[in-house]
Amino acid sequence: MNNSVANTTRLLWAGLRALLVLTVVCGVLYPLAVTGVAQGLFPGRANGSEITENGRVVGSELIGQRYDLPLKKGEETPAPDLKWFQPRPSNGLGANTVNTQYKLVLSGATNRSADNKELIDWVTAAKAAVVKDNSVPGHPVRPSQVPADAVTSSGSGLDPAISPAYAQLQVRRVAERNHLPVGRVEKLVEQHTDGRILGFVGEPTVNVLQLNIALRQLTDRT
């Protein structure tokens, strides 16, 4: 009996020591080491790829955000503020909206097939809205000019970037709303277009937040 108790005590003490050692190594030393390496090698990414304006954090280059007018009484979703470049739609369809404000806790795709009626209705309505919003006197937008990313969300619903084609589609509307020359706004888009990674991976993109910050700085100077 005494031997049995002694063996049990030794096993419990060995297990406790293993628990303490693993807690210190895996729960304290390893996280500190990883954090230190990350802060030393790429502090910007380690801290969330924050974007600052006038010394204030205004967002992350990895997470999209919307540019809307204040929500009016009775509205379920706010109308877009058309003086700014608009991002991709966040995931959600019409009245069954899942995420229209790029909320991180609601990240995810809509998971609807290409022939889903609800998806088709949403894309059709979204395309009509893009055509209406971006048509300016003398320069109407045709439905065939609307790129796919203007009417569909990304797989995560949080994509911060749009295609150069969608950015160019918005140029005349943004220029008119801000009383700027079209050529100057086109130049902004060109300056904020990122090419393919290593010259061949992926597609060119435009980060909407960074583009709108540049637009605000331009309008402040004029």
Given this model, what pLDDT does residue 103 score?
Answer: 64
Distance CA 205, CA 111 (A): 24
Distance CA 107, CA 98 (A): 9
The pLDDT tens digits of the residues spanning 149-190 come to 999 888 777 889 999 999 999 999 999 999 999 999 999 999
Given this model, what pLDDT does residue 136 score?
Answer: 95
Query: What's the pTM value of the predicted model, to 2 decimals?
Result: 0.79
What pairs with residue 19 in β-bridges? none
> 15 in the Ramachandran plot: left (φ > 0), alpha (ψ -120 to 50) or beta?
alpha
Name the residue with higher pLDDT: 15 or 2.
15
Q: What residue type is assigned to position 37 of the chain?
A: V
Nearest to 88 by CA among 77, 74, 99, 76: 99
Task: Name the range with the highest mean pLDDT among 88-92, 163-167, 200-204.
Answer: 163-167
What confidence tier does 47 reach under pLDDT thresholds 50, 70, 90? confident
Nearest to 163 by CA among 124, 105, 203: 203
